Structure 1
Amino acid sequence: MATKTETPVFGFEAFSDMFKVPAFDLSAVTEFHKKNVEALAEAGRLAFEGSKSLTQKNVELAKENIAEVNEHATKMFNGKASELGFDKSFETAQAFMQKSVKDARVVADLAVESNQKVIAVLQDRYAAGAEEIKAATAK
């Protein structure tokens, strides 16, 4: 009489099925990271351009301010200070301070605009990357 061999309830096939890994698409992973690097490069380029425009604006404003200070100092040291009087000097100083505050706002707005462009590129890539991962895991 032949003896009947029982198959264990938990066989090797069932065990190996638990550890099956989906096919790994190397080209898709490479393309995913290539897009990430491209987005980082674009963000870096935008950050550099923003920094460059901030520097140029600061130089432009500094030149204007130096010219104004030189003009006012020249008038004061050429004996025209008495003609200007205290009230005029005060008005000039007040106008200079108001212009400085306005200029600081302009520079701050440029910085915010530049940063928003950089962040937008990174956010767009993050959203696209999340969609790519969802699509890849749905297969």
Structure 2
Amino acid sequence: MSELPQTPTDFTKFFSSFSFPAGPEMTALMETQKRNLAALAAANKLLFEGAQAITQRQMEVMRRQMTDVAEATRSLTTVTDPKERTVRQTEMVKTAYEKSVADLREIEDLLRKSSGEALDLIHGRFLEAMDEVKGAVERKTKPE
């Protein structure tokens, strides 16, 4: 059994006798992390732009809906027959519902597109990073 070092200066000699596995190439790993951060920043930019587009579209929808409500109210004030008023109200509700569903689908598509693009970017970068790490480890551990 080896003797334990007696003074702190003996640590160097003590640990020099051990064989540690070679670590990965640090420069390559640092470059991988830089590319990871760049991909994350790009994904965040895509998500932010998507959120802006969704917010803008929601505002447009709200403005149109307010205009539609005002027009519907005006058109109903001219109808005096209760039966005709009920028919018009039913038609207006149906039309408003159909427009709302179409608007929701459009907003859903915007959300899916922006989040899908960001996820694809991160997914692709993850796969690249794993290959880069594997390559860095293999290059460093190969006997020369």
TM-score by length of 1: 0.80
Aligned alpha-carbon RMSD (Å):
2.0
Instruction: Tell me what 2:105 maps to.
Output: 105
Instruction: Tell me what 2:80 maps to.
Output: 82
- State the shift of 1:40 in Å: 0.7
- Is the CA contact 2:25–2:136 (under 8 Å) kept in the aligned structure 1? no
- State the shift of 1:32 in Å: 1.1
Instruction: Tell me what 2:120 maps to.
Output: 120
Instruction: Tell me what 1:3 maps to.
Output: none
Within-5 A mapping of 1:1-139? 16-17=18-19, 19-22=20-23, 25-77=25-77, 80-82=78-80, 85-139=85-139
Q: For structure 1, list consecutive stretches of 5 or more residues without a partner in the other structure.
A: 1-11
AA at the equivalent of 2:18: S
Instruction: Tell me what 2:3 maps to.
Output: none
Q: For structure 2, list consecutive stretches of 5 or more residues without a partner in the other structure.
A: 1-13, 140-144
AA at the equivalent of 1:32: T
- State the shift of 1:81 in Å: 2.7
- 3-state secondary structure, aligned to 1:119: helix
TM-score by length of 2: 0.77
Determine what percentage of the aligned residue pairs are the same residue.
26
Count of aligned pairs: 123
- State the shift of 1:129 in Å: 0.0
Alignment partners' CA distance in 2, 1:25 and 1:115: 34
